A and B are shown apart, each in its own frame.
Chain A
């Protein structure tokens, strides 16, 4: 998912107007709302969080520590998750790392949903979508987190629910006597 789409989606999730989101002449993402322009993916998300009254926004700015923690994941989405998910090898590393991460926690930051989860969710959406059932099972913890997030209507926003049930093709085996 490109940055413009992601910003629009996240604005919708937070219940704030996305405003005009586009890439400027330097290919840096900008958002203009009420004639105020802010540039940079993470900085825009910060502004959205300040404008929003939603649970996710409140969670994301609960303290200085949490804001810093959330910020690092947004940056991770921009620097590593989004570009890396298009690379054959790096994408596997990302999946392994996230899977390991989610073996001990339900959300990226604290015990509640934040903008960190949203930013990572959208940045690896296409990668997760492309996974085979076997892979989804291999990355069980990641799959659980992802499936949990996609069930929230404000995150899915009318899109399809990715399938996480895994039953395979059988029936060809020496002695697979049915």
Chain B
């Protein structure tokens, strides 16, 4: 042959049947080949996705053996193509999954394989080869798959297939390839190493009948208890005894101790002006709180510190806008934060503020140390000043085009570009503009102080290498990328008044910038908590303090680079962060939380829903964005409450306790453990261990999973044992029932301990129902003990959770997906819009577009215009007045349209619409009334109160529309 050089190359892994198929195809096509035995990780394979891959002599690379077959044998017909595809998509996966080893084997594969082999035999009964009288690539493909692993050995009733198999085997081409590559070396298990997509294990093999899939379920359920080892059973038996754990007395002031675990926990300091939303809450304070509660429950010395970050331009501006002093603003918002966290049951040991005198002392002292150690230098800085606003512009108040190469984002902020994420120096912005007035600022130069980060960098690197093992992955990645770019000196002073004065001659009129202010809040708040704060922050040599810092990922640079650097620069031996616990972001129903657009649930809203704080805590922890972003979803909240809490956890606990109350007079009965109980306890111990391991690493989601698995095991056990049947039986059977109830009551006590960090209030309710106290967790021996011994009298059981109805959830969904009125914080929803706003908004909100008279519209435009002017005069915050401007523009548009329309049509419209509107309102009142009655019957005032409000408002609306007072509704003028 002329085209002998170069040869076709086959790259395949050891034992791969598809590589063998390619050798056969090439032999039949009379193409010389070179076979390279490779592994997917070899450098030569770096661009390969799947083995085998063929390199044709023209350089084309093909990883599909059928593509090669079709290329080598282009004219064998459509039927051949179908068989080729069938062999690869149906036969090969079934073989691979049947022949896979151990747990990878798919029990469904064999029945499917039998059907496929039957199909082959039927086909070969009709013709000598698969596609007719002649051998084609399809026969080679199928043969090469059936030959390895001795699939057909011992098979019966497939004589046609066997005859065909022998015929193909005898062909000289096949014999020639077999001489090079013996069958014994081939196996389907090699496919697992042929790609990074699980071999062929994920390709669905279709089970044809339903009964087979039913059998499957029963087998897997049985197999879980089969996996319990003898050791685990013994362990379960030995540890299911009463152990006396000393009641831990929490000291008034928690201080670290020699030889004990000392855990200092901080949550990123919320900026005082921002009302926290659910994402903020789970990202920092709630995660930290759950971890702190776990840490206390495990008996570690635990101190949990947080507070508000109060200094800075934003507060100054807000104070100007509201005509208050910055201090007054901070007081107001501090209370808001405090009340929100209190409602969520966040148990800070101390919740402080950065505007305290301690903060000033700590920051100035730290500055003096760093200055003395030579890590501060002075430099003249060109700073942007807005002549029109007559002030220096803080970084965030300058916008312009991003200076970084290849980005060019036009709305980059003065400190960071939102598009490329890189830090920006305000003066480097291209075409800068003042965010407030949009005029171009001028550059003025002033003297500022800089923290010399490059000088500290070597120390920081050394520290980070030893510390970063305990950080979450995203924290490590972010910190490393900062170091990779190299550190730059950072300016730590600003020309402001609201801040900590710089204690250095010549800088008296300047204050510290956030980088040298806020993080020190952790130390100053500890100092506020105890004068012995140095025991935590500058501990003695023999005291080990672990510092866990919780935050969202945007806060990692502060806690991994800037703050540690400045602590290292003081050279005082400060406690450095051992565990940076950074979350990703929480989205709201697949969108973003947005205060200005009123989308999402903010701290104070959660309270108004009437859903208990513990349910919020549980849901937020189970949706915590660990590893990747997650979403808040109302449906998910309802589903988790109804299925996980109500039907699983709550149901189990309640059943166990009610049985105990009704049948054993509230006394925990005698327990005589059999194999069934030991298996159950062993399975539970696995979950307890998983729970402890997860929470030690603050993996809160996994902790919940393990906790719920325990009650799931409990439910399954109760369902299988059926104590309610046994109770009616013989004495022996009654004794069995006693054991079952006793064990279940103890599992309930275990669950109360495990749910305590997540749902403290509900856990306490459960402890009361069990008539017991919390038992300290033992991380070294994570096993279930006897918490409630025989003879213990339990309290009065009652359901722990209530169902969240879909209709209720739908309403909340509607309520928080809409537009929020900025000025008073109320939501403008169709139900209450006319009441909460001034009359100006009313025509626009209550009547459909285009149905108002010209006179009405003109009046509305005038009033709305007035409102916008007032708003613009009172605040510069565009988010506040922009929605009103939009309303105004909309009204003007309507006015233009109305003026253009024929007057007759316009004049007749309102009456008709009013009637329709009144009718609609009446209908809604009826519905709402029905709902209120139902809710009232169910109890809980916090749930039905808001609904009554809605009803009253609807009635008021109708009254205004029809001009007639509605029944009892007298308080509406």
Contacts and interface: CB of A to CB of B under 8 A. Distances in A.
- A and B together in one complex: yes
Interface of A: 25-28, 38-43, 46-47, 64-65, 67-69, 71-72, 75-76, 78-80, 83-84, 86-87, 90, 93-94, 97, 132-135, 167-178
Contact of B60 (A39, A46, A69): A69
A78 B202 contact: no
Contact of A26 (B119, B204, B270, B518): B119
B85 A168 contact: no
* Residue among B74, B90, B552, B554 having the largest count of chain A Cβ atoms under 10 Å: B554
Interface stretch (B274-282, B691-699, B825-833): B274-282
The SS class assigned to the A binding surface is: helix
Nearest to A66: B60
B78 A43 contact: yes
Contact of A64 (B71, B200, B268, B274): B71
Contacts of A83: 202-204
A68 B68 contact: yes
Given A76-B50, A174-B518, A177-B271, A90 B82 contact: no
* Residue among A39, A132, A174 having the largest count of chain B Cβ atoms under 10 Å: A174
26 contacts: A27-B208, A38-B82, A40-B86, A42-B66, A42-B81, A42-B85, A46-B81, A65-B60, A68-B68, A71-B70, A75-B66, A76-B50, A79-B89, A83-B202, A87-B198, A134-B629, A135-B628, A170-B554, A174-B514, A174-B559, A176-B271, A176-B554, A177-B312, A177-B514, A178-B271, A178-B396
A61 to B, nearest CB: 12
A163 to B, nearest CB: 10
B67 A174 contact: no
B64 A75 contact: yes
Contacts of B396: 177-178
Given A168-B418, A176-B554, A177-B394, 16 more contacts: A26-B90, A40-B81, A42-B89, A65-B56, A67-B71, A71-B66, A72-B62, A76-B50, A80-B202, A90-B202, A94-B197, A133-B629, A168-B585, A173-B551, A174-B269, A175-B309
Interface of B: 49-50, 56, 58, 60, 62-64, 66-68, 70-71, 74, 78, 81-82, 85-86, 88-90, 93, 115, 119, 195-198, 200, 202-204, 206, 208, 268-271, 273-274, 276, 279-280, 283-284, 309, 312-314, 394, 396, 418-419, 514-515, 517-519, 521, 551-552, 554-555, 558-559, 584-587, 592-593, 628-629
B20 to A, nearest CB: 18
The SS class assigned to the B binding surface is: mixed
B197 A84 contact: yes
Nearest to A178: B314
Contacts of B519: 174-175
Contacts of B208: 25-27
B115 A41 contact: no
A124 to B, nearest CB: 12
A135 B587 CA distance: 14
A40 B68 contact: no
B265 to A, nearest CB: 15
A80 B518 contact: no
A39 B87 CA distance: 13
Given A41-B89, A176-B554, A171 B274 contact: yes
Contacts of B279: 169, 172
Contacts of A72: 62-64, 67
Nearest to A173: B555
Nearest to B68: A68
A171 B519 CA distance: 17
B534 to A, nearest CB: 22
Contacts of A78: 89, 203
A174 B82 contact: no
B85 A93 contact: no
Contacts of B552: 172-173
